Amino acid sequence: MTDLSPGATAGDRMRSSGTPDRAPDRLSGRAGALVSTAGGDREVQRVVRSLARVIACGYLAFLVTSIPEIGPASAIVDVWYTPVALVVAFGPGLALLPASLWRGGRYVTLCCRLAVVGYFLASVLWLVAWNGAIGDAERATWLVSFSGLPGIAVALAISSRRAAAVVVAGTVVAAVITYFGRTDVDVGYLVLETVFASAFASVFLATALTVLRTGHLLDATRIDAYRAAAATAAAKARDVQRRRFDALVHDHVLATLLEASAGSSGPELAEQARSAMSRLDELAEGRAPMAADQTAGELITALRAAITAAGEDVGVLRDRVTDASSVFPVDIVLAIVDATGEAVRNVVRHAGTSASCAVLVDIADDRIAVTVADDGVGFHPDRVEPARVGIEVSVRQRVESVGATARVRSSPGSGTVVEVSWSRR
């Protein structure tokens, strides 16, 4: 059975469902914002944040409606209990609202778990603080009014079965408190009330779980679409490479061999052979000869091939082309493609296994801008070891040699953003 809880790891979901989860999990800083813009925030993250706000509003509503019951319920417990219980029982639930607004909702899971801990802690403390008196109010404690809400909240952080168990446990604990704190309690009625409360809360729990499952299915569909696009780009890149190889063999290699078989010799044939070997080397390194000018469409194709070369599902490319007929010098295109490929390879090598990558391309008639962003471990750009020359040589110096510029922004824990841009003088 697939574990659809947001607390489940990507590996857990892969092992249980067979569908790899490579969507962004933890987006932070500028890199996170760019990845979210290009690859799209995970639908399940949006669902979790929305449900967290609804649950927080539920806690606020129950707090307001419990105010008339707080006074009578305080008469049968020690004086310290009520303020402490209010904080631990309602605090984490109310904290879900700001947590859902904080950098992708990274603290939602923590607040959900604390909401469960807080509710049961308040319940246990009631048994400690109870002074032995019997109340004549309808409820012995205001905890009874929202006994199922912590279970619904924790469904955002743990598996559905455990969340259901929390719902039942919450209503049972509320029933135990009622049994001790009321004078006219009937055990049969109390059992019936407990079953009804559990069933009532389970309806909302099932609704929340259904919405979460929908978010996971949308994520899986989008991942499949990205993988299909990457496979198409890889196939197209391989086809382009094969055509270039065929043309190179026909125009240079065979021509050189035919002249040599005809008895030709001299420096011209030697130069022709060296040129053919050089072109073969360029092709093997992914630097096949290009036309003097490259269109915007050819640039996009080359960028897709460079991304795919690092791994078919490594990066998500989003492009905005103002004028598809724009042409650019081949040396500019090669430099930008090489730098982009190196930046994506750096994501694979250094960003971490769970990092996601987005490549944003903005092409106009007079400029090219490429941004490679990841939500990986990040680093201090000014503390890079001299032996690591990927960013300095293969990105910055490579593009600066043709008049383009490169900028690297990163910090530990906030991912990395590499920006490459060129404009006509």
Residue 345: pLDDT band (50, 70, 90) is confident
Residue 191, SS3?
A: helix
311: region left, alpha or beta (phi > 0 left; psi from -120 to 50 alpha)? left
Entry pTM: 0.50
In this structure, are residues 365 and 322 in contact, taking their beta carbons and an 8 Å threshold?
yes
- Separation of alpha carbons 308 and 317, rounded Å: 10
Q: pLDDT at position 225, please?
A: 79
Q: Which of 129-143, 283-297, 393-407 has the lowest mean pLDDT?
A: 283-297
Start-to-end CA distance of the chain, whole Å, equals 60
pLDDT bin (cut points 50, 70, 90) of residue 94 is very high
Residue 318: alpha-carbon gap to chain centroid: 16
Side chain identity at residue 196, one-letter code? F
- One-letter amino acid of 178: T
pLDDT band at 9 (very low <50, low <70, confident <90, very high): very low
